[in-house]
Structure 1
Amino acid sequence: MTGTVLVTGGTGFVAGWCIAELLRGGHAVRTTLRNANKETALRMAITPAGVCDHALSVFIADLTRDEGWDAAMAGCDYVLHVASPLGGGDPTNPDALITPAREGTLRVLRAATKAGVKRVVMTSAAATARPPLNANRTSDETIWADPADPQFDAYRRSKILAERAAWDFMAQTAGPTELTTILPGAVFGPVLARENAGSVQIIQGLLAGRPSALPKLGFWIVDVRDLADLHIRAMTAPEARGQRFIAASDFMWMEDMAKTLRAELGDRAIKVPHRVLPNVVVRLLLPFMAQLRSLAPLLGRRFPLTAEKARRMLGFSPRPAAVTVIDCAMSLLDNMSLLDERPVSAA
């Protein structure tokens, strides 16, 4: 089944792969950009994914403004709302992330329902289904994280509040439009462009020898290609209507990620750190580790999580996390321009 699909925030890491997979599947694809000057770079970025961009149309629309959204939505069958502010946020002004994420989501949903879109699939985050760290509960789709929980930084609070706002809006809005949300873990995998590469910067840091010694931090990992596939499955599957789906493969400690890189990449991973820092030392140093500072509450924790619902209902079958880490590193090493520093926002 094909149709016209709008993907918000086309230059993003996840959005780029969603666009590529939709084009590969024969869909007419639209995407939004904040700046028309980025269109050429977007089209060049999806070329390595082996797709033709002739069926891709670009619309100018910003999550912080109403202009452009009605035109982008008109005639669309589906929307993948992937765009969201990135980065750790200004700790003195958390609304710098929270307000654009929440209000931008509502702006997209208002335009989608007005246009009679069949379904909106929204990218949230696995953190939105995470209980308090000492609750001894497994993260699943029945759980709603508390945005006031101190384990969450501004980025994760923005995801929690934006998803809550989306479900509240849909509950109060009549019409044919349906909502589904996807809750990914830390998204790694091949990088199409360096802009908004998000959590990929963790791999980039390891390849560059940063941090020089490894903290006891770990992530539930999902491959960006598998995440794009899950969005598209959720877009049309009747059983996905009104559902949340966690998207994750395996959990890996940074130490295991580093070992995997060294074992598989040989001399290309010569800078990857070996030493592991004791937690007590890491707690002293994290305030000075910009890339990992927001993850401090997760130090030494392997919180349980399940993606069984997505596997059972939508046939989600993600790659092993070790494969994702290697493919991510290879894409960075093969295109050195992708190794520039960018903010980190692992889910």
Structure 2
Amino acid sequence: MKLRETSSVELKADITDSFLKTVSAFNFEELASGRQDLHFHYLEQELKRELGISELNGDILRTLNLYNAETKFNRAARLLADENGLVLIDLAKFGDSIDVIQARLRLENMSILEAYAEATAFFRKFYCYEEIAGIKRERREKVPELSFREALANALVHRAWDVDAPINVAMYADRIEITSLGGLPAGLTADDYLNRQISALSNPILANVFFRLGYIEQFGTGIRRINQSYRNSITKPDYSVGTEAITVILPLFTASVDDLSPEEEKVYAFIQRKTSANRSEIESACALSRAKTLRVLNTLINKGIIKRSGDSRKTHYLLR
């Protein structure tokens, strides 16, 4: 079958799993897709909405680097295609412990663009609400939606798609953790990723589509935008950057100490005055038991308000 306006073409030779493991993440999305019977209704819908195209045709697919005469549809195209047979995102909303799962959503066999929208809708069910203020109904966010969308878009665009595992989104009462596999792109350090506006894209074809559709503002600014969304919060995002995975931790937005318990407020105020303090100093100054002090410190750490530094007897606590 020839390439048509919303096209599908006949299957070309597949790529074996053993060979895929030897290919870098950067080249992965350029490889020929093992499936060529691909359709792009959701992508077409989004391109119509954002760019005003009349229909998705072969020229646009080539412009987006999703199709060429040699490989036909590539791996990036499959990720963007409808009914692609891929497991993309696994979301779980936990109760008081990880043994209590209040809701679960596994997003698979759909365009990653649709999965992005479905995951955002799931987020809104638990972290956004409306409040009556006078005669107006105002929207509130427990976690900034901008930060969630940026973190999820980053995970989709930067993850290693040759790893057969979904992006995990764990939702707790006090935070959200978004984990994607693959670690940092080659040549990019944790400091580059967290503190500098450097764009080393693992999947440039996907990143370009996300950029054109307005899902990301510009390359290399995701972490900065996440941090900015917490600029008026005493809780701050945290990041775990490893060689095999990256986790973004988004705490509940805490606008003031009024949102803290009396014990949390007392410990927070003491650390704020001291800049840095160890457990025994905090325990004595706040008149708390050792067990209570440790519980409060761990709660403030989980909320993203303070962080632990050092180990053993040299452990101390300071604000993020």
Fold conserved between structures, TM > 0.5: no
Which structure has the larger Rg over C-alpha atoms?
2
The structure with the greater share of residues assigned to strand is 2
